[in-house]
Amino acid sequence: MNSSMSLNLRSYWAGFKAVIVFTVIVIVYTFVMTGVGQLGMPDKANGSMVTNSQGEVVGSSLIGQSFTDENGDALPQYFQSRPSAASDPNKEEDNQGYYAAASSGTNKGHADEDLIKSTTELRKAIAKREGVSVKDVPADAVSASSSGLDPEISPEYAAIQVKRVAKERGLSQEKVESLVKKYTTGRGLGFIGESTVNVVKLNLALDELK
């Protein structure tokens, strides 16, 4: 066997061993990290699923939901989420957004005429529904998040919905406000981002009230 062939064989063998070693490392790493996740933070590792009092999974605290009827009209007994541009292409006739496989924003600029028109109309509709002035409707009530899956709204948007939800459910405004406060998360480390209210958890808590 000449030296050139011997060198090639050694190179191939070294490459093969490298593939085996790194494959094992990747497999071991995956199992280790999966184990750490399941043991240390199973809730987050499994998708932060939300269950009702019967133990049934009703969603994820990380993924928004639409609380509307089949016509897309807001169900008055629920806090409403912000709009979602994540549409299911297979359900164009009955699309409520929040389709995880199509996560995206509107991709429309602030000067887009259709966006301006739809936003203006939605702001007026929300103001009428909540019995407030158009100027009191916050931006997140009429604009989709960049992911289209945001499960949270601003405390300001939650605040203008309290009266309606309390009336529809026969609850005091103080009771509803206390639930809003319970599911409000402050800024990260006290200064990162903005305070938010998790609509999915809040509406579930309302349904669980006896």
pLDDT tens-place string over residues 107-132: 777 777 888 888 899 999 999 999 99
Give the predicted TM-score (pTM) of the model.
0.77
Measured between alpha carbons, how far is residue 153 from residues 110, 137, 157, 209 in Å? 21, 12, 6, 22
Mean pLDDT over 136-144 rounds to: 92
Q: At what angle do helices 199-208 and 173-182 cross, to 10 degrees?
A: 130
Q: In the structure, what pLDDT confidence band is assigned to residue 105 with cuts at 50, 70 and 90?
A: confident
> DSSP string spanning 99-165?
-GGG-------TT-HHHHHHHHHHHHHHHHHHT--GGGS-GGGTS--SSS---EE-HHHHHTTHHHH
pLDDT tens-place string over residues 7-65: 667 777 888 888 888 898 999 888 888 888 777 777 676 777 778 878 788 878 888 88
pLDDT at 16: 83
pLDDT at 210: 67
Contact 84, 144 (CB under 8 A): yes
Which comes out higher in pLDDT, residue 183 or 54? 183
User: Nearest 5°: CA angle at 143, between 137 and 146?
Assistant: 145
Mean pLDDT over 152-166 rounds to: 96
